[in-house]
């Protein structure tokens, strides 16, 4: 077996990952004993794909529903209550509530909180904050998972830069998805871009396969890492892409008191956008686009900036 960072078998002198790796992985051809052994995951059936599409539509509606409430002065507890009620009123299930003991129906991650921030009546949004609202819903047994980071009032130039970089990181990740390519194509599209913008990609938390389970099958790395090298993208796979991007370094800490809240180790700001996607015959479909994104013909719309 040849690793991605080894010299290519063809003798070009380039690293394998910069030379024949993608071609080998896509064709499944064995060049000597060097072609990577790719892991395959069963595609969703037609019925399952429709279930995922419906779940994605609702989760998008939920994000648009909560959008106007994300303003200075609201508490994350109130946001949680709105999301919980809207979900239940539509006959669906908030997936976060009770997931491995998680106590609320949404994750609300403010400023230096990377992910899994727990809504609280003591946590008010203030002018200048950035906050990620991460919603996951079970619709007729199928999960959809998406999030956006919101800028409250006027935020610093560096906070705005971070939010825009994290939005573009998600779009670049989605654009990299093509059947036949290794899953690693996503990380290859995200990490060099993020580093070039002076930000970093969190390593400890990843995207994930999703379907009739919240976190299923495989991890979707956003940073370049050997472990995800051998998963191949095939039509019918559904997973999330959700790069957590820090203004400082990538290391994070887990709050030992609540067992959930993840913060940047250096206290820097963190931002994230997430969509659930379906791999198609020629690329991917973004299942969790919101009605406002669909109306604008984009996959993300951040404070007037369109990410097509």
> Rounded distance, CA 71 to CA 129, Å?
10
> Rounded distance, CA 13 to CA 6, Å?
9
- State the nearest-atom distance from the C-beta of 272 to Co ion, in Å: 8
Establish if 148 lies at the interface with ligand MF3 (CB under 6 A): no
Nearer to ligand MF3, 99 or 227 (CB): 99
Establish if 222 lies at the interface with ligand MF3 (CB under 6 A): no
For ligand MF3, the binding residue among 48, 129, 188, 274 (CB under 6 A) is: 274
Establish if 134 lies at the interface with Co ion (CB under 5 A): yes
Query: Which option in ligand MF3, Co ion, none does residue 99 bind, with CB closer than 5 to 8 A by kind?
Result: ligand MF3
Distance of CA 140 to the CA centre of its chain: 22
Cα Rg, the chain, nearest whole Å: 19
Establish if 145 lies at the interface with Co ion (CB under 5 A): yes
- State the nearest-atom distance from the C-beta of 115 to Co ion, in Å: 8
> Site map for Co ion, 227-266, x if CB under 5 A?
-------------x-x------------------------
Nearer to ligand MF3, 25 or 177 (CB): 177
Ramachandran area for residue 296 (φ above 0: left; ψ -120 to 50: alpha; else beta): alpha
Q: Which of 53, 101, 83 is nearest to 289 (CA)?
A: 53
Stretch that binds Co ion, among 43-51, 139-147, 152-160, 163-171 (CB under 5 A): 139-147
> Rounded distance, CA 136 to CA 94, Å?
6
> Site map for ligand MF3, 53-72, x if CB under 6 A?
--------------------
DSSP assignment, residue 182? B
Taking CA 211 as the corner, what is the angle to CA 289 and CA 114, rounded to the nearest 5 degrees? 65
- State the nearest-atom distance from the C-beta of 23 to Co ion, in Å: 31
Stretch that binds ligand MF3, among 69-77, 98-106, 166-174, 230-238 (CB under 6 A): 98-106
3-state SS class at 1: coil
> Rounded distance, CA 58 to CA 90, Å?
9
Residue 156 has phi, psi (to 5 degrees) of -65, 160
What are the residues whose beta carbons fall under 8 Å from the beta carbon of 231, sequence distance 6 or more?
A: 38, 39, 41, 182, 183, 184, 218
Establish if 108 lies at the interface with ligand MF3 (CB under 6 A): no
- State the nearest-atom distance from the C-beta of 92 to Co ion, in Å: 16
For ligand MF3, the binding residue among 107, 177, 186, 202 (CB under 6 A) is: 107
Contact 144, 136 (CB under 8 A): yes
Which residues on neighbouring strands pair with residue 231, listed in sequence order?
A: 39
Query: Which option in ligand MF3, Co ion, none does residue 148 bind, with CB closer than 5 to 8 A by kind?
Result: none
Nearer to Co ion, 36 or 207 (CB): 207
Chain residues in the site for ligand MF3 (CB under 6 A): 96, 99-100, 102, 107, 116, 134, 136, 145, 240, 242, 274
Chain residues in the site for Co ion (CB under 5 A): 134, 145, 240, 242, 274
């Amino acid at each position: 077996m040849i690793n991605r960072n080894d010299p290519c078998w063809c003798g070009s002198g380039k690293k394998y990952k910069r030379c024949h790796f993608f071609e080998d992985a896509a064709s499944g051809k064995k060049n000597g004993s060097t072609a990577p052994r790719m892991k395959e995951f069963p595609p969703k059936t037609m019925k399952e794909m429709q279930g995922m599409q419906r779940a994605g539509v609702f989760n998008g509606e939920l994000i648009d529903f909560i959008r106007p409430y994300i303003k200075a002065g609201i508490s994350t507890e109130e946001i949680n209550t709105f999301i919980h009620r809207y979900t239940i009123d539509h006959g669906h299930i908030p997936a976060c509530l009770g997931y491995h003991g998680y106590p609320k129906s949404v994750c609300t991650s403010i400023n230096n909180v990377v992910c899994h921030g727990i809504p609280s009546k003591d946590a008010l949004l203030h002018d200048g904050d950035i906050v990620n609202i991460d919603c996951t819903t079970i619709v007729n047994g199928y999960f959809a998972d998406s999030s956006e980071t919101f800028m409250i009032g006027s935020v610093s130039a560096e906070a705005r830069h971070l939010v825009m970089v994290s939005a573009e990181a998600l779009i670049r990740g989605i654009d990299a998805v093509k059947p036949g390519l290794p899953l690693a194509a996503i990380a290859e599209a995200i990490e060099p871009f993020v580093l070039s913008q002076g930000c970093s990609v969190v390593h400890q938390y990843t995207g994930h396969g999703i379907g009739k389970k919240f976190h299923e099958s495989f991890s979707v790395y956003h940073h370049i890492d050997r472990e995800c090298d051998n998963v191949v993208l095939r039509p019918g796979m559904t997973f999330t892409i959700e790069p957590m991007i820090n203004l400082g370094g990538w290391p994070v800490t887990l709050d030992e008191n609540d067992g959930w809240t993840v913060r940047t180790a250096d206290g820097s700001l963190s931002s994230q956008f997430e969509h659930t996607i379906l791999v198609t015959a020629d690329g991917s479909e973004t299942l969790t686009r919101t009605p406002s994104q669909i109306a604008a013909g984009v996959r993300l719309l951040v404070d007037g900036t369109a990410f097509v």
